A = this chain, B = another copy of it.
Amino acid sequence: MNTESVLARIDADFEASLSRLFDLVKIPSISTDPAFSGEVRRAAEWCRAELAAIGFEASVRPTPGHPMVVAHWTGKVEREGPHVLFYGHYDVQPVDPLSLWETPPFEPRIAEKPDGTRMIVGRGAADDKGQLLTFLEAARATVAETGALPCRVTVLLEGEEESGSPSLAGFLDANRAELARDLALVCDTNMWNPSTPAITATLRGLVGEEVVVQCADRDLHSGLFGGPAANPIRILARILAGLHDDAGRVTLPGFYDGVADLPADVAAQWNALGLTAESFLGPVGLSTPAGEKGRSVLEQVWARPTCEFNGIVGGYTGEGFKTVLPARASAKVSFRLVVGQDPARIRDGFRAYVRSCLPPDAKVEFHPHGGSPGLALSFDSPALARAREALTAEWGKPAVLIGGGGSIPVVGNFKRQLGMESLMIGFGLDDDRIHSPNEKYDVTSYHKGIRSWARVLDSLARA
């Protein structure tokens, strides 16, 4: 394939690529909230139609939850090469707190940073609508310019990634023959910095639990019952406060079983990246690492398990004051896991700990969420080397191998269920505010991301 002509077409057609990303961001496909299920469906249909327009045989496929989009390239290929499965997700996170958005989350716009950098602002602009379109737009330009793709390609787009992927495992099992390919390409990760591309080599897993503590069978007046009546907020606070020791370590018995210390050579490579607590935390208004004492920021976020509190609510939370003793209080707790930790054991250990904290009159309910182990990918595949070459060519700097703090459960599913390794390449940046108000995706991430995939696909076909 004539790479230069494909890249030139990407550049020439970039305004149309941007317009398509805007169209997709405009669809409020919030998967965790049942009120938006029609919109999630609409986003799936939109993706199917675009894949069909490129030339894929594309279909929207039912699941017990939100649908999958599956597409097969049945046209001409330049080489036999590997058969790749591209994965992305078309659903997005909720938008609350809505009041902190500068413009409506589903009305995308181009904004400029003070340094002149242009960015696309909107929920899902980065995670994962912008990222998944980098691949689709690369495929579109390649087909338009060459009439073919460099190698065989299947596309799988999920609609439940932001709500724990409840249908993914069943769908992979039921469609193994259609989806088990030589290699997965997953576009849901970040670059090292705005000018340095990265391939993510380790990922943390996730175990989530919603804990509901119930005491009285109704809300009580704190004047009439304050003192004798058990208070679920007090009990919940004790439970949460007991989960970390003063050194920032998680106190659950056996929590660190199987967790290896970082190999010296990897630690040296990460240290060489020159990241400081200040450079990592400063941009979000923080300065001091709050994780395990004695470990670097990168180690805390890439290589160490954590326990985090993602939400808490109980009693009166409106304006003013209400002297109520609430009947119940709840918290959303999650654990980020690394290779060697068993999600089921962590969940069981957490539940046993919570139950051990309950005084008389307190009852607890658990609502599980997620449950994926940490992952570390093999570094010796030729595909990895080819992809690095292609990224290095596009960005003019060597692509770095990094860790990922967030879980991407699908990578674990691909490995466990389909025996397939994943190359995690993405063009997000640390300041993209994914999951937060005013999420954005740099125009450069999108543009050079499209160019990168055109190069990576061509390069992989030669592997």
Residues of A within 8 A of B (CB): 32-34, 93-94, 96-97, 100, 162-164, 190, 204, 206, 208, 210, 215-231, 233-234, 236-238, 240-242, 244, 277, 280-281, 284-292, 297, 300-301, 304, 306, 308-326, 329-332, 334, 336, 359-361, 369-370, 404-407, 430, 433-437
**Contact B325–A308 (Cβ < 8 Å):** yes
**Contact A286–B216 (Cβ < 8 Å):** yes
**Contact B404–A223 (Cβ < 8 Å):** yes
The CA-CA distance from A7 to B236 in the complex, in Å, is 52
CB A405 to nearest CB in B, in angstroms, measures 5
In the complex, which of the residues B236, B280, B287, B407 contacts A360, with contact meaning CB atoms closer than 8 Å?
B287
In the complex, which of the residues B162, B222, B301, B330 contacts A336, with contact meaning CB atoms closer than 8 Å?
B222
CB A206 to nearest CB in B, in angstroms, measures 7
In the complex, which of the residues B164, B241, B435 contacts A324, with contact meaning CB atoms closer than 8 Å?
B435
The CA-CA distance from A229 to B435 in the complex, in Å, is 15
In the complex, which of the residues B237, B317, B336 contacts A227, with contact meaning CB atoms closer than 8 Å?
B336
**Contact A216–B32 (Cβ < 8 Å):** no
CB A350 to nearest CB in B, in angstroms, measures 15
> Which residue in chain B gives the minimum CB-CB distance to A317?
B313
**Contact B308–A226 (Cβ < 8 Å):** yes
The CA-CA distance from A405 to B220 in the complex, in Å, is 12
Give chain B residues whose Cβ lies under 8 Å from the Cβ of A332.
315-317, 321-322
Other A-B contacts than A164-B321, A233-B312, 17 sampled, CB-CB below 8 A, are: A32-B322, A163-B321, A210-B321, A217-B284, A218-B436, A222-B406, A224-B434, A225-B301, A226-B301, A228-B300, A237-B309, A237-B312, A238-B241, A288-B360, A310-B321, A311-B322, A312-B317
In the complex, which of the residues A229, A238, A331 has the most CB atoms of chain B within 10 Å of its own CB atom?
A229
The CA-CA distance from A436 to B236 in the complex, in Å, is 21
CB A234 to nearest CB in B, in angstroms, measures 6
**Contact B314–A314 (Cβ < 8 Å):** no
Give chain B residues whose Cβ lies under 8 Å from the Cβ of A316.
94, 96, 310-311, 332
Give chain B residues whose Cβ lies under 8 Å from the Cβ of A228.
277, 280-281, 286, 289-291, 297, 300-301
The CA-CA distance from A38 to B434 in the complex, in Å, is 41
Give chain B residues whose Cβ lies under 8 Å from the Cβ of A406.
221-224, 323
**Contact A325–B310 (Cβ < 8 Å):** yes
The CA-CA distance from A223 to B161 in the complex, in Å, is 14
CB A329 to nearest CB in B, in angstroms, measures 7
In the complex, which of the residues B229, B323, B336, B437 contacts A206, with contact meaning CB atoms closer than 8 Å?
B323
**Contact A208–B321 (Cβ < 8 Å):** yes
In the complex, which of the residues A289, A311, A436 has the most CB atoms of chain B within 10 Å of its own CB atom?
A311
> Which residue in chain B gives the minimum CB-CB distance to A303?
B227
CB A411 to nearest CB in B, in angstroms, measures 13
Give chain B residues whose Cβ lies under 8 Å from the Cβ of A220.
284, 435-436
**Contact A229–B284 (Cβ < 8 Å):** yes
The CA-CA distance from A221 to B432 in the complex, in Å, is 10
Q: With A322-B435, A435-B219 in contact, is A361–B288 under 8 Å at CB? A: yes
